[in-house]
Chain A
Amino acid sequence: MAQVATANQSMWSGGKSPFKVEYGKLMMWYFLMSDAFTFGAFLISYGTIRFSANSWPDPNHVFRSFPIIGEMNIPLAFVSLMTFILIMSSVTMVLAVGAGHEMDRKGVLKWLGWTILGGAAFLGCQAWEWTHLYHQGAWWGSNPFVNIDGTQASTNFTNFFFTITGFHGFHVLSGVVINIIMFIMTWKGVFDRRGHYLMIEKAGLYWHFVDLVWVFVFTCFYLF
Chain B
Amino acid sequence: MANAHSAEHHHAHDEQHTFDRKAIWRTFRILLYITIFELILAIGYYSMTFSNPELVKYLLNGVFIILTLAKAFFIIAEFMHLRHEIRNMILTISIPALLFIWFITAFLWDGNSYKNLRNTYDRHYLDHSKEKAPAPKPHGHGEEHKEAQEPGKLH
Out of A52, A135, A224, which one reaches B111, CB within 8 Å? Answer: A52
State the CA gap A51–B112 with chains docked (Å): 5
State the CA gap A109–B19 with chains docked (Å): 17
Query: B103-153: which residues lie under 8 A (CB-CB) from chain A?
Result: 103-104, 107-108, 110-112, 114-115, 118-119, 126, 129-135, 138-139, 141-142, 144-145, 147-151, 153
Q: A53-B129, A94-B24, A222-B42 are in contact. List 14 more A-B contacts (CB 8 A).
A: A17-B3, A20-B8, A47-B107, A48-B111, A52-B115, A76-B43, A87-B35, A90-B75, A90-B79, A137-B155, A146-B139, A151-B131, A195-B1, A223-B64
A122 close to B (CB within 8 Å):
no
Binary interface encoding of chain B residues 1-38 relative to chain A, with 1 for a CB under 8 A from any of its CBs, else 0: 11111011011000000110100110010011001101
State the CA gap A153–B131 with chains docked (Å): 10
Query: A40-82: which residues lie under 8 A (CB-CB) from chain B?
Result: 40, 44-45, 47-55, 58, 60-61, 71, 73, 75-76, 80
- Contact between A20 and B86 (Cβ–Cβ < 8 Å)? yes
- Contact between A87 and B31 (Cβ–Cβ < 8 Å)? yes
- Contact between B138 and A146 (Cβ–Cβ < 8 Å)? yes
- Interface size range on B against A: 35 or more
- Contact between A22 and B8 (Cβ–Cβ < 8 Å)? yes
State the CA gap A14–B6 with chains docked (Å): 17
B interface secondary structure, majority: helix
- If A22-B8, A208-B75 touch, whether A61 touches B141 (CB-CB below 8 Å) is yes
- Contact between A137 and B151 (Cβ–Cβ < 8 Å)? yes
- Contact between A136 and B148 (Cβ–Cβ < 8 Å)? yes
B56 close to A (CB within 8 Å):
no
State the CA gap A61–B8 with chains docked (Å): 49
- Contact between A47 and B111 (Cβ–Cβ < 8 Å)? yes
- Contact between A20 and B5 (Cβ–Cβ < 8 Å)? no
Contacts of A21 in B (CB 8 A): 7-8, 85-86, 89
B49 close to A (CB within 8 Å):
no
Query: A113-154: which residues lie under 8 A (CB-CB) from chain B?
Result: 134-137, 139, 142, 144-153
Contacts of A148 in B (CB 8 A): 139
State the CA gap A87–B78 with chains docked (Å): 13
Query: A197-224: which residues lie under 8 A (CB-CB) from chain B?
Result: 198, 204-205, 208-209, 211-212, 215-216, 218-219, 222-224
